[in-house]
Amino acid sequence: MVALKKAMDYAPSVGNARPWRVFNVASPEKREQVRQIFEKANSKAQAIYETERANEYRKLKLEGIRVAPLQLAIFTESEPDAGHGLGRQSMTSTLEQSTAMAVQNLCLAARAFGLGTGMVSILDPEAMQKLFCVPPSWRFSFYLCIGLPSFTDDTPLLHKCGWQENIKTRWQNC
């Protein structure tokens, strides 16, 4: 875990604001509360799909909350004192982008140690903010489940399951 923390420490950050705030979700009670938030959001998400797609949706592995040994709830401080506002006056989204870069560093470090990182994106942000009793200036950004991967190839799970093929990045000249 120390290496993962260090990876986040080395991440680029707008104005060196370091806006990410990380909770190591270790208690079974807190994990169960997160799982309940997931279940509620997942039921809502599942309801938007028609019969065949809904069946495919139910087969997907969408959360590792029950099994991942390391779980992190990550928030972005929208008004950090650090950085003195440098670089975010015209683009406030750079704070969340900084948090995303810190998470990317963590994911790459985890991978280097043979760990997999899954992002649980089917969560109600307001419910997560309430659960973790964070200040109003903190926005929920990520819930990560980290542990030994269930497969070792680089094909994304949603691609493997036939949910959607990967779309190639397109660059345009101007």
Element counts in the chain: helices (H) and strands (E): 6, 4
Residue 168 belongs to some domain of the structure:
no
Residue 166 belongs to some domain of the structure:
no
* In the block, residue with structure tokens 């950050």: 13
Residue 173 belongs to some domain of the structure:
no
Residue 170 belongs to some domain of the structure:
no
User: Model pTM?
Assistant: 0.89
Closest CA to 23 of 120, 148, 119, 134: 134
Residue 82 belongs to some domain of the structure:
yes
List the CATH number of the domain containing 48: 3.40.109.10
> What is the chain's pLDDT, residue by residue, as a tens digit (174 residues)?
788 989 999 998 877 678 999 999 999 999 999 999 999 999 898 888 888 887 887 777 666 888 999 999 999 988 777 666 656 677 678 789 999 999 999 999 999 999 999 999 899 999 999 999 999 999 999 999 999 987 777 777 777 777 778 788 899 998
CB atoms within 10 A of CB 154: 7
- Number of domains composing the chain: 1
Give the domain extent around 38: 2-160
